[in-house]
Amino acid sequence: MERTTLDLWVGMFVVGGLAALVILAFKVGNLSTYNVSQSYQLQANFSNIGGLKAQASIKSAGVLVGRVTGISLDTKQYEARVVMSIDSRYQFPKDTIGKILTSGLLGEQYIGLDPGGDTVMLKGGDEIKQTQSAVVLEDMIGKFLYNKAEGGK
Amino acid sequence: MAIVSSLRSIGSRVINAVWRIGYASRFFMMTLLYSGLSFRRFRLTVREIFFSGVMSLIIILVAGMFVGMVLGLQGYETLKRYGSESALGSLVALSLVRELGPVLAALLFASRAGSAMTAEIGLMKATEQISAMEMMAVNPIARVVAPRFWAGVISMPLLAAMFSAMGVFGGYVVGVVLIGVDEGSFWSQMQGAVDFRHDVLNGVIKSFVFGVAVTVISLFEGYDAPPTAEGVSGATTRTVVQSSLAILMLDFMLTAFMFGE
């Protein structure tokens, strides 16, 4: 087995391809901000989640702290059950309020966490008791029109 | 009589097509089965990586650059209307990493390297080199086909990754350097939108699947080509047509699987 220039070219090709993958992972993608390991799960029930989707972001004071991992319908109370995966660097008090908010006027929906003043922190598997549902535009317009009609009488 | 003969010709075409599909499947299985040699004597595969991968490098890089530049220009023109030019980065990166990178790289690979493989093997068959190998108890599938197959399968994801990276660079050149979109928002919007597992890895899986499809089609067409000048030229054409169609159809199916909700 001797080394040939062909090997050099193929080596350069493979290295270039892998380098491109690394660039895609770190410069283009979010692997550099990826926190693979530590996260804990929280749950919350919302009476209406609007257009919230799995993988939607969870923010507290505007900082990304986690992602929505699962959405299902809780058939006991007929409410939406949202499972959230929160970065374990961030702890939240027991009386934290979860709100479904919209980024911008037409942007995607996310969950905002407003921490309360409790000294006991939420642990993995806990539930956020106080929640505020998404604002559904149709409902709001309906209410507005209804109020208008009431007022006009 | 005309009806009978046309029915007969339709029937024979269908039977012939099914026959070829069966033969191609057996050919694919044989290639996988006799792949041992292409790893034990890896030099064989390296040689083929050089001819199919390294030689396609220039066209892939140049094409990727220009596709990225076009995306940058067109994306900017459209996004400007909605006042969201800063989303240019995520537009360019997502369309490249998810779709255009794997698909266009595979199309270029099929026409650059796939057709060459078909012509080479078809000519080997026409000049009876394949039969000569069999006479010497050398298995042509293990010696000629399998190394080319693995070279294609290894090269394709690397080429697609380079295509996408070059495209992002082209989009950066047009968007940030020439037009003047804010550099910070270009990259941060991009990083916010592109998920490594969901977008980048799925793109790599796509290009891997395309690599398998293109090389199997090209090698089979070469191996099955009638041993005449006309036969080889027909097989080369069929390689390009069929692999392009296969790439686009597979792409639709993979996209439906990966990104459909």
Asked if B53 and A28 come within 8 Å (Cβ–Cβ), the reply is: no
Helix and strand numbers (H, E) in chain B are 13, 0
First-to-last alpha carbon distance for chain A, in angstroms, is 97
Per-residue pLDDT at B188: 82
Per-residue pLDDT at A37: 57
Query: Using CA atoms, how far apart are residues B93 and B189, in angstroms rounded to an integer?
Result: 10
Per-residue pLDDT at A64: 83
Q: Is the pLDDT of residue B41 over 70?
A: yes
- By Cβ distance, the residue of B53, B168, B195 closest to A30 is B195
pLDDT > 70 in chain B, percent: 100
Candidates B45, B58, B200: best to mutate against A (most CBs of A within 10 A) is B200
- By Cβ distance, the residue of B46, B158, B192 closest to A7 is B46
Asked if B53 and A32 come within 8 Å (Cβ–Cβ), the reply is: no
B83: phi then psi, degrees, rounded to nearest 5: 65, 25
Per-residue pLDDT at B196: 83
Per-residue pLDDT at B239: 94
Per run of 10 residues, the mean pLDDT along chain A (length 153 residues) is: 81 91 83 67 88 83 86 89 87 89 76 88 86 81 86 63
Query: Using CA atoms, how far apart are residues B63 and B112, in angstroms rounded to an integer?
Result: 13
Q: What is the pLDDT of residues B148-179, one digit of tens each?
A: 999 999 999 999 999 999 999 999 999 999 99
CB-based contact B87:B187 (threshold 8 Å): no
Reported ipTM: the value is 0.80
Query: Using CA atoms, how far apart are residues B214 and B113, in angstroms rounded to an integer?
Result: 9
What is the nearest CA distance from A111 to chain B, expressed in angstroms?
Answer: 17
The mean pLDDT of B55-82, rounded to a whole number, is: 93
Per-residue tokens: B83: 């006042």
- By Cβ distance, the residue of A1, A14, A55 closest to B158 is A14
Q: Is the pLDDT of residue B233 over 90?
A: yes
Amino acid at B181: V
Q: Which residues contact B189 (CB under 8 A, 6 or more apart)?
A: B86, B87, B88, B89, B90
The mean pLDDT of B13-33, rounded to a whole number, is: 92
Q: Does A1 touch chain B (CB under 8 A)?
A: yes
Query: Using CA atoms, how far apart are residues B117 and B135, in angstroms rounded to an integer?
Result: 23
CB-based contact B140:B133 (threshold 8 Å): yes
Q: What is the H or E stretch that residue B153 is in?
A: helix B146-172
Interface residues of B toward A, Cβ cutoff 8 Å, are 43, 46-47, 49-50, 53-54, 57, 93, 97, 155, 157-159, 161-162, 164-166, 168, 187, 190-192, 194-196, 198-200, 203-204, 261
Q: What is the pLDDT of residues B95-135, one digit of tens each?
A: 999 999 999 999 999 999 999 999 999 999 999 999 999 99
**Longest CA pairwise span in chain B (Å):** 74
Torsion of CA A10, A12, A16, A19, to 10 degrees: 120
Q: Which residues contact A9 (CB under 8 A, 6 or more apart)?
A: B50, B54
